[in-house]
């Protein structure tokens, strides 16, 4: 690996938006490690890695601080540097607030928000020594506007926006930038579960009249990483849904 080659770690990178981000960063010349909470099958990994020899993976739970620290250490042991962290790992446990269990609320907060905190904390220690680094958090328009049935998810993503802005201010002292991307309705396995009727109703509310593609989110992440004068920002990728 050439000394100038950047190394990126993408959490929740085995599918959907996370995988699209990983592949986009590989195209931009980075070595990319994707994190998943369980080891993919040989067949699944062969499909993920096809044509992307600079992709590797780490198994671990971002919600567990010890495992988060171990993952950062593993990247450093193998590559000797960490230039980019993309906090994409996330889960949903949707239900109306009055019917939501504390367990479901806490599970989403633990993965989506505490998980990003765990990864950012230990990545920043490395990046501070390097005096450079880039962190991009995957928020959501739910974190900006709330959403029926997603009190836990919206709270986690709103918290992630606050974490982003604080990390940007603290990180700037050592050349570390931190931004967030807030996707709207993106065509993924998660939105595939919606009925055709609901998809049609949502599409009517989107000025661009379609769901976004995972790579359109990935392009925005890549842009934020590449522009050295952007930090502390939240960029929506939602087809105009929140304008």
Residues carrying an active site annotation: 153
As beta bridge partners, residue 36 has: 59
Eight-class DSSP state of 41: P
Tokens of 196: 């055709």
Residue 217 main-chain phi, psi, to 5 deg: -70, -45
d(CA 77, CA 238): 38
> What three-state secondary structure class fits 168?
helix
How far apart, in whole angstroms, are the C-alpha atoms of residue 104 and residue 132?
37
**Angle at 91 (CA atoms; ends 85, 97), nearest 5 degrees:** 130
Residues 6+ apart with CB under 8 A from 144: 157, 158, 161, 182, 234, 236, 242
Asked whether the beta carbons of 119 and 129 are under 8 A apart, the reply is no
Distance set, CA 227 to CA 7, 77, 230, 233 (Å): 17, 28, 6, 12
**Dihedral sign, Cα of residue 217, residue 222, residue 234, residue 139:** positive
Query: For residues 201 and 195, what is the distance between their CA atoms, to the nearest angstrom?
Result: 10
């Amino acid at each position: 690996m050439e000394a100038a080659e950047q190394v990126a770690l993408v959490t929740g990178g085995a599918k959907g938006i996370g995988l699209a981000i990983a592949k986009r960063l590989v195209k931009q010349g980075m070595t990319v490690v994707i994190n998943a909470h369980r080891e993919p099958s040989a067949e699944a990994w062969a499909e993920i890695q096809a044509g992307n020899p600079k992709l590797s993976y780490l198994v671990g739970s971002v919600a567990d601080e010890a495992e988060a620290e171990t993952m950062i250490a593993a990247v450093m042991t193998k590559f000797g540097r960490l230039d980019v962290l993309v906090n994409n790992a996330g889960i949903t446990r949707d239900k109306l607030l009055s019917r939501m269990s504390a367990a479901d609320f806490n599970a989403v907060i633990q993965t989506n928000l505490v998980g990003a905190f765990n990864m950012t904390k230990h990545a920043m220690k490395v990046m501070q020594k390097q005096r450079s680094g880039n962190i991009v958090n995957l928020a959501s328009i739910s974190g900006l506007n709330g959403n029926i049935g997603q009190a836990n998810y919206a709270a986690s993503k709103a918290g992630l926006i606050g974490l982003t802005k604080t990390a940007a201010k603290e990180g700037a002292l050592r050349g570390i930038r931190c931004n967030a991307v807030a996707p709207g309705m993106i065509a993924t396995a998660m939105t595939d579960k919606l009925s055709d009727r609901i998809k049609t109703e949502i599409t009517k509310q989107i000025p661009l009249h379609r769901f976004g593609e995972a790579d359109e989110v990935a392009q925005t992440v890549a842009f934020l990483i590449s522009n050295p004068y952007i930090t502390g920002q939240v960029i929506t990728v939602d087809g105009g849904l929140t304008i």
